[in-house]
Structure 1
Amino acid sequence: MLRHVVLDELQSLAEPVTLDGETAVLLRDSGLVSVSPALNGQWTVLPCGTVGAVQISDLLVEVRPKSKLKLSSLLFLLGYAKDPGFRPVDVAGLEDGELFSALAESLARQVQGALARGVLNGYVNVDEALRTVRGRIRVGDQMSRRPGMLLPLEVSYDDFTVDIAENRLLRSAIRLMLLVPRLTEDVRGRLAHLDSKLDGVQPLRFGAGIPAWTESRLNEHYVPALRLAEIILRNMSAEAGLGRHQVASFVVTMSTVFEDFVTTALSEALASRPGITMPQYPVFLDKDDQLASSARIRMYVDVVHTIYGTPSLIFDAKYKASSWSGAYPNADYYQMLAYCTALELSRAWLVYAGRGTPRQRTIAHSHIRIIEFPIDVSQNPKALVASVQNLADAAMQAFEEDSLAFAGVE
């Protein structure tokens, strides 16, 4: 029988659970939760800053985001952060519930749709040693590898095959999902059938990077499946027969996901405006130019939008909870004050993950204003992207007003 432990991302207390020592170690090593001994052979399991799920044989532990995100919203954040072309339809139809079952069902459905017209073929460049000429002879390789030999020939040619990046992604995600314990026989059977359709496709080797692919008219029916496959391959791991247990995990750090999403979405929202949007913008807080760079006070701003090469807009994304009074940590404001001072700007935008309305704070004895701009990540994907667009528009409008005021224009 499956034991299901559900924790909230911000939870600080939990009832002890009964685990054997090997399961406790595997659970701790997953990076999803902290595991500490309790009384009578039990263990206290608590979140440790990440969200997702770990399944170890008949034990499933889930840590759910603070904002009560639906699985489809979480996957949208993950996908959009890597690819601004990621669309809500790419994760449409995911049901709420146990994470691995929902992922497996969605992957089966998306790949089935992708392969409905048959397996996609494409051209790949092949370097090979053959006894006959095919394509062109690589003279340099022939001379260095086989000096004085006529055969075999080092040749390079284009091969029309199913073993292309798109199919490798799909088959690798399917193979990984098949290692998840306790999937229903129906889903497992559908995934196995889809895997057999991809015969002749080499799965990615363990540790290999995700191959690049480009959306086109030829593969557009593959796109939703490919984007879900990429999310699975980036964030999930599974091992069969590890000791006495089968282990699967899907673990993400929400602070990183939120910051990456805000950076990407802001870059898209400001793309039509003058200037360039730059992530992790480097700046020094001190003016000790005589010192080596390594000895100076270096900072990296999450997002800076420059106009004509001059920093004009500052954004910093924070995925954290406010206190019981609704206030955020003082350190966030100190950090933004340092950014404004170093970049000689009078306004900065502090972007939080949460509900609420924007609020401006004016720093005492200065003209610096820090605007708290909450973004509700539990919104549907369209509204979420619209919220970032509203942030970009508000920031640009404020910058234009500041510029006019500085120039003395009413």
Structure 2
Amino acid sequence: MSGTAPEQQRDISDEITLWEYGDTVSVPLDAAVGRALVASRFLDSVAPDPERPGHWRLRAGNQVGAVRLPGGTVLRIAPKTPVGRLFFLLGFSLNPAGAWRDSREGAVGTGAHDDMVPALAYAVERQIDGALRQGVLQGYREVAESALVVRGRLREAEQIRRHFGRTPPVEIVYDAYTADTAENRILRAAVERLLRLPHVPGPVRRRLAHQRVRLADAGPLVRGQELPLWQPSRLNSRYQPALRLAEAVLRSTSPEHRPGPLALDGFLLDMNKLFEDFVTVALREALREHGLTARLQDVHHLDLGGRVRMKPDLVVYAADGRTPVAVVDAKYKTEKPYKSDGYPNADLYQALAYATVLGLREAHLVYAAGRLPERATEVRGTGGLRLLQHSLDLTSEPAALLRTFRELAARLAGSAD
């Protein structure tokens, strides 16, 4: 059932606030902006309001964050999950080993900010500041160029092709010791991305601008191209927490890259993907204690011909690394109190297919919330195959959440005995 928030039934303003999977709201929008939102497809629904000319009915889905619309209006989508807990999920998913953890077991520091974009900007700036505390990391990078003097190695093929029979310039290649490394380029790009976002507080914006100056020797990234590759090493260990968070900023959904008649600029985080990443990484880490291997998004096939692909979120294998012992799928859904069965039946059909193909007696589904911690469904005609639905409480303290995964991992390990 949907409704219209009274505070949003007003003339065009500087901000529109929606809630993740919340009620539909009617807001005044220019028709071109409304069509741009339709084309961008990051909202659950966008349509003209038939009862209010000049208004559009908007409903948010699983994307949270903020977008600046043409004309300057900011569309803010607030998450249902508290921002502090959301950043715990993000931090643990990116770095379960705990290189940036504090006493709350994996939380990324967000200061006093309880809104998505300010918290994100604060967290990234703090991580980058920590990474640069000992100075900007430098490294060797191969440079190929035309020069008036020989330096490094002569590129003979290029020299003949471009300058045959002539004197300098010469085509050379050499290794330059520089701050223009993949690591610094990624950090600089994340800073510049955050500086373009709405709702970044003034003090945080000033600190981000300072970090941009410190990273000025790193080259800019070309929008739309893949991020440069970097390899974890002893030399860049102090950079790694900041790099993982910066990459999350740059790789997360951005409406600025979507097709549409008007440009939309902002940052959006896919809660479905974040929940799936957290569940699978937390279980994979917990299963290590039992000597089991867990592979994420492992490809299997429903049919003998290998035409119908299946990619369970997580498949657990025995010590030999080949024999499946458990399968888990994460669902960022909550139980519907008005339905007798609570969760969609399609989830059970999917879990049944996974268990059947992998030859298992159980399949597990993990949900974001539910009335009961666990629900079991025994499938008819299968000799006792069970489908188990587990529900989490994302408002729980991090330690309690991780304890839940350790208990589930022990149960999955029991299936291997």
Q: How many Å apart are 1:116 and its aligned residue?
A: 3.5
AA matched with 1:106: A
Q: How many Å apart are 1:148 and its aligned residue?
A: 5.0
The reply on whether 1:344 has 2:352 as its aligned counterpart is no
Normalized per residue, which structure has more strand? 1
CA 1:185–1:340 in 2, change beyond 3 Å: closer, same or farther?
closer
- Equivalent residue, structure 2, for 1:311: 324
User: Which of 306, 316, 334 is equivalent to 1:321?
Assistant: 334
CA 1:25–1:156 in 2, change beyond 3 Å: closer, same or farther?
same
Secondary structure of the residue that 1:293 maps to in structure 2? coil
Equivalence map 1:6-405=2 (5 Å): 6-11=17-22, 13-33=23-43, 34-38=45-49, 39-56=52-69, 58-65=72-79, 68-85=80-97, 87-89=100-102, 91-143=108-160, 146-148=163-165, 151-181=168-198, 183-235=200-252, 237=254, 247-286=264-303, 289=304, 292-294=305-307, 297-307=308-318, 308=320, 309-324=322-337, 325=340, 327-354=342-369, 356-365=372-381, 366-400=383-417
AA matched with 1:102: A
CA 1:236–1:314 in 2, change beyond 3 Å: closer, same or farther?
closer
User: 1:335-387: CA deviations, max 9, x gaps?
Assistant: 22222222221111112122542333322342111222223333444544443
Q: How many Å apart are 1:202 and its aligned residue?
A: 0.9
- 2:78 and 2:297 map into 1 onto residues whose CA distance is 28
Q: How many Å apart are 1:29 and its aligned residue?
A: 4.1
CA 1:108–1:302 in 2, change beyond 3 Å: closer, same or farther?
closer
Secondary structure of the residue that 2:180 maps to in structure 1? coil
Q: Structure 1 segments of 4 or more deviating over 6 A?
A: none
AA matched with 1:302: D
Q: How many Å apart are 1:46 and its aligned residue?
A: 0.6
CA contact (8 A) 1:53 1:63 kept: yes
CA contact (8 A) 1:351 1:372 kept: yes
AA matched with 2:267: F
- 2:233 and 2:358 map into 1 onto residues whose CA distance is 42
Q: CA RMSD in A?
A: 3.2
Moved more, 13-22 or 375-384: 375-384
Identical columns (%): 38
Q: How many Å apart are 1:181 and its aligned residue?
A: 4.0
Secondary structure of the residue that 2:224 maps to in structure 1? coil
CA 1:63–1:152 in 2, change beyond 3 Å: closer, same or farther?
same
CA 1:337–1:105 in 2, change beyond 3 Å: closer, same or farther?
closer
CA contact (8 A) 2:326 2:415 kept: no
Secondary structure of the residue that 2:222 maps to in structure 1? coil
With normalisation by structure 2, the TM-score equals 0.80
- 2:96 and 2:163 map into 1 onto residues whose CA distance is 47
Secondary structure of the residue that 1:350 maps to in structure 2? strand
CA 1:303–1:281 in 2, change beyond 3 Å: closer, same or farther?
same
- 1:170 and 1:80 map into 2 onto residues whose CA distance is 20
- 2:201 and 2:301 map into 1 onto residues whose CA distance is 55
Q: How many Å apart are 1:2 and its aligned residue?
A: 6.4
Q: How many Å apart are 1:188 and its aligned residue?
A: 3.1
Secondary structure of the residue that 1:132 maps to in structure 2? coil
User: 1:184-207: CA deviations, max 9, x gaps?
Assistant: 444333322332222222121111
- Equivalent residue, structure 1, for 2:7: none
AA matched with 2:355: C
Q: How many Å apart are 1:177 and its aligned residue?
A: 1.8
AA matched with 2:306: S
CA 1:126–1:73 in 2, change beyond 3 Å: closer, same or farther?
farther
User: 1:22-56: CA deviations, max 9, x gaps?
Assistant: 33234444433232111131111111343332233
With normalisation by structure 1, the TM-score equals 0.81
- 2:397 and 2:237 map into 1 onto residues whose CA distance is 23
- Equivalent residue, structure 2, for 1:404: none
CA 1:125–1:319 in 2, change beyond 3 Å: closer, same or farther?
same
Q: How many Å apart are 1:331 and its aligned residue?
A: 1.8
AA matched with 1:70: P
Secondary structure of the residue that 1:233 maps to in structure 2? helix
AA matched with 2:393: D
Secondary structure of the residue that 1:351 maps to in structure 2? strand
The number of equivalent residue pairs is 388
- 2:67 and 2:408 map into 1 onto residues whose CA distance is 36
CA contact (8 A) 1:168 1:202 kept: yes
CA 1:151–1:375 in 2, change beyond 3 Å: closer, same or farther?
farther
CA contact (8 A) 2:253 2:270 kept: no
